[in-house]
Amino acid sequence: KKRNKRKGKATKSEAKKAQKQVPSSSVLGNLDPSVRAIFDEATEHFESRNGTLSDWLNPSHPHFWESLKAAWSKLPKSLRKTLVERDQKACRAQLRAPEHPFPTASDDHCETAPEAYAHIAPILKLIARELGKELKDLRIYDPYFCDGAVVRNLGKLGFSNVYNKCEDFYEMERDPPLHDVI
């Protein structure tokens, strides 16, 4: 970063950028405590909560967050802007393509939405029941690795025995891992 050499201080553009990232304590201090709590919770949950900011504010979306929607109009514009910027940053982080030890095409590496796994869960449950297995014991093989979200998403639905590793499927197809479902 460029610094003002004479005074050892940040340049004006650095100071402005830093100001944008952290809401001023006067803005936060003047908030109703319940609205402040929702703001704090929202800023902490961009990495762990499912959905995006627009999902959280959309009453018809499965990830709708009612208390955030209720607090949204009470948040000052600067804090709403902070949440939008955090959401954009989280979305960009999710879009970064993982590195693979084999040749890939960028169009081949798109994670399936968590909702899609919820849609196929009844079929997987039926297969488990037909095989006489608990959900956690059903061996699922997803040969196309992107970023490993399939393991997390199916795990949340009770399917914890999922094989999805950063391996070249075309090399593995001759000797795939043991599985009940592909």
Question: Is the pLDDT reported for residue 41 higher than 70?
Answer: yes
Residue with tokens 């304590």: 25
pLDDT digits (tens, 9 = 90+) for 94-128: 666 667 767 777 666 677 888 999 999 999 999 99
For 117-168, write each residue's pLDDT tens digit. 999 999 999 999 999 999 999 999 998 887 788 999 999 999 999 999 888 7
Find out whether 100 and 61 touch, Cβ atoms under 8 Å. Answer: no
Find the distance separating the first CA and the last CA of the chain, reported in whole Å: 50
Look at residues 65, 58, 68 and name the one whose alpha carbon lies nearest to residue 34.
68
| pTM passes above 0.75 | no
Cβ-proximal residues to 135 (8 Å cutoff; 6+ apart), any chain:
124, 125, 128, 157, 158, 159, 160
> How far is Cα 91 from Cα 39, in angstroms, rounded to an integer?
19
Q: Where are the beta strands (DSSP E) in the chain?
A: 3-4, 9-10, 140-141, 162-163
Q: Any bridge partners for residue 9, and if so which?
A: 4
- Element (DSSP H or E) covering residue 180: none
pLDDT of residue 144: 81
Read off the pLDDT of residues 46-88 as tens digits, 9 standing for 90 and up. 766 678 898 899 999 888 999 999 999 999 898 999 899 988 8
Q: d(Cα 106, Cα 97) in Å, to the nearest integer?
A: 8
Q: Which amino acid is at 22?
A: V
Which residue has 């319940």 as its token pair?
A: 34
